[in-house]
Amino acid sequence: MPAISTNIAANSAVRYLNINSNQETSSLSKLSSGSRITSASDDAAGLAISTRISSDITTLQQAATNAAQATSILQTADGGASNISDILARMKSLASESASGTTVGTSRTYIQSEFSQLISEISSIATGTRYSGQSLLDGTSTFSAGVSVLVGSSATDTIDIKLSDLTASTLGVSSLDVSTQSGATAALTTLDTAIDTVSKARADIGAQESRFNFSADSISTQTQNLQSANSAIKDVDIASEQAKLSSAQVKTQAAVSAEAAANQIPQYLLKLLG
């Protein structure tokens, strides 16, 4: 027999109304966010794993930026080194001309004038080849001593950048004099050494740039794999969650109707007893 003082049917309807209403709220939150984990209670272990993966993804994205910046630095340095190499080639040509016995009169004076200008230009390029305010090829930047660039999610995932000093004095050409045949002949050997030094420096730059390019490809692959793994853990199954939402909405409506009907029972019984 139904109780008048305690409406068990209404209480039961309210309980199910709350359950279904909470399910609606949860489903709507997941569908709107695109994530099946909107709070730790949804999946504590999954949330912990997803948080760690998200952290690794963020670190890798920064590593990709680091690698791109390093590549830009190396390309800038190589451009300057290439110009210096071209100048040295021209200087060798001038020295060869001056060393020839067929060069007479004031010709060597004119050759020396251009030669001296080219010496100054080498140091100007070495100092003027800059990245973010730092000269790359004059031995004054941190890159001359070597710097480590982070290219992964671990502190040990690094590649070093080290750039050579390519100023005229370091190359040994700052005091060359080709105004005499003997001086020009001696300069040829020094210039060959300087050209070899710049060629080696460019080879080192190229090798470093190649490492960063391969690293960038690896970072991209790792990032994509982690994003896929994180998606599998975190992303909501839209079809499944939509079905849960629809079911909860139907049940909520039914619970509302049931509660309304249950609330009429005491009044109906009172009328019968009256």
Relative orientation angle of helices 181-234 and 44-99, to the nearest 10 degrees: 170
Structure tokens at 91: 């200087």
Residue 229 domain-assigned? Answer: yes
pLDDT in tens, 50-87: 889 989 999 999 999 999 999 999 999 999 999 999 99
116-128 pLDDT per residue, tens: 999 999 999 999 9
Residue 28 forms part of a structural domain: no
Q: Is residue 274 part of a domain?
A: yes
Q: Which pLDDT does position 197 carry in this prediction?
A: 98
Say if 266 falls within a structural domain: yes
- Residue 118 domain-assigned (yes or no): yes
Domain CATH number, residue 116: 1.20.1330.10
Higher pLDDT, 52 or 16: 52
The verdict on 75 and 147 lying in the same domain is: yes
Which tokens go with 37? 């984990």
Residue 1: pLDDT band (50, 70, 90) is very low
Q: Are residues 167 and 211 in the same domain?
A: yes
Domain span at 190:
59-233
Residue 195 lies in a domain: yes
- Contacts of 27-32 with CB under 8 Å at 24 or more apart are 27/241, 27/242, 27/244, 27/245, 27/248, 28/245, 30/236, 30/241, 31/236, 31/238, 31/241, 31/242, 31/245
Whether residue 156 is found in the same domain as residue 172: yes
Burial of 98 (0-12, 13-18, 19+ CB in 10 A): buried
On whether both 183 and 251 belong to a single domain, the answer is no
Q: How many domains are there within the chain?
A: 2
pTM (whole model) above 0.75 = no
